Structure 1
Amino acid sequence: MKKNIAIIMGGYSSEVEISLKSGSVVYDSLDRTQYNPYKVHILKEKWVLVENEKEYPISKDDFSANVEGIKIVFDCVFNAIHGDPGENGVIIAYFDLLGIKHTSAPFYQMALTFNKRDTLSVVKEYGIKTAVSYYMNIGDEINTKKIINKVGLPCFVKPNNAGSSFGISKAYEESELIPAIEKAYKEDTEILIESFLDGTEVSVGVIEYDGEIKVLPMTEIVSENDFFDYEAKYEGASQEITPARISEEQREKVEEVAEKVYRILNMSGFSRSEYIIVNDEPYFLEMNTVPGLTKESLLPQQANEAGISLTDLFGNVIEMALNA
């Protein structure tokens, strides 16, 4: 019997439009001989199942919908929500309480990896190389000289709990720090200031596929802008070269570290992490547990290079969730 799959998309963050695109690609790609896919929009103002341009309210009591007099319940939820509440573990905890299977890692792993500061704190204990970091909470005194003394210039200022490069700035001079901090605080009450790493940036997808952890061919990021910001990510102001133009030695080192980080963080399902290769050594930046899933997004590019179609990529994660 075909399984009912709710593809949740939207969310409560600045990434809502990107999530809706990702969710639509998942919906279009799923094998109709195995699954009945449904688009479910999770928005601040409403939770609705969308079918034939009509909206049917989702009952938060049991996450079901009444469609033309028929109650629709779901065998599995495919999580395509970037940011809050999909990527930070919030809605995952809700599904766990209801006993509904889902394609994401457990809620604690989602919450941990969404918090850049806490993720870095964990991986550092295992000897993973990272940038030098300075943490701040909103309301803290801003001591620019102290910040520069620790991380140097230039440096990156970024929200601690946000994605798609929203709120990130690169500060070259002390005078640019406060405006950059204010920009980051518009996205989050916690911020992270990191030293600049001068090297080759690569994005690495690590997934569970056919019951095993698989490191996908990595993508080299060459931004036309000063760094891989929103415009570079989503508006074409970058080159994304898959596979990355790096040496075999570098590739092996990044693959080893990427798999190690996936295991350290007890991940499952999809992940895409960013690294900077400096003097042949990979430095871990962050992990995304609900990466972009459009055909142009990095993880699907990497899967394609590995010979994995979107139908297989998405179907595999659903089957792993159903059999967990």
Structure 2
Amino acid sequence: MDVRDLEYVIAVEQCGTIGKAADMLGLTQPSLTKAVRRVETLLGVMLFERTSTGMRVTQAGVQFLARAKRLRRDYDDALAEMRSIRTGEQGAVRLGYSPSLPDGLLVASCRRLLRERPAARLRLRRRLAKELLDSLRNGEIDVAVMPLPGISAEFATEDLYEDRLAVVADAKHPLLSRPRLRLSDLQGEEWLLPEGHITVRQSLEDAFERHGLAPPVLRIEADFSSEALFQLIAGTNILTISRCGQITRSAGLEPLKLVVDGLELNRRIGLVTRTGGYLSPVCCRLIDLFREEATQGNMAKWL
């Protein structure tokens, strides 16, 4: 099978129609249709059902396309590795990182790399955890520094440090004067929270539900925490969940004295790569630098 045929069937799945996929690939529709049929004939199964609205992936197609995407990534990795061997180029490092990553760790590690390797180039992507995993899966980034996902053979993970989230509020919030709070004491309070699919929000809502409480009252929904958002809730009674450090303190926010009650707020932050994926020498060096910088002393300063 021609490697290009894999690219063609993947494009059809992504675009949903032969016409859109042909436009994206710069092919004519008859040529692309012929390529899809060629693959289906070789496999002996139908990958797509032709409908009035486009191309629907069959059950066999779902299984084959998952393997085709892995084969394409492995092929791209092999080309990148051979190119590195042939040219000796340092190349670019495509680094994804979570908004929860302290700026100090990111800056210190990347600055050292740029000083050591003048030819190195960095491509930085600040994304949420799910987006980072999708980007790794699709071969769009080489390594991510993020809250570590659950065990999966698809990804290789390595711990860098642990941090703890807290429920924080404006320093003048009435709840801060209370020495011991339970989730029931937060009933009816307004919140700034991430979108519903984000783990920390799901954990909060699950904890409320387990204790027979109504869901948290959502006042502001945002992709991730930032200094601007903290400034937005400063001076109000709105609560949020955040790593309690320099950024929250500078905004005038303080952690509540909350008895956890089943709300998991400990996190492992670390390095995530694709299992068996190619990592260039310069990427490996950046990973080493993150390990070296993520010392207990440094993290106490940056968190």
Q: Which has the higher contact order (CA 8 A, sep 6+)?
A: 2
* TM-score, reference length from structure 1: 0.22
Question: In terms of Rg, which structure is larger?
Answer: 2
* TM-score, reference length from structure 2: 0.23
Which structure features the higher share of helix residues?
A: 2
Which structure features the higher share of strand residues?
A: 1
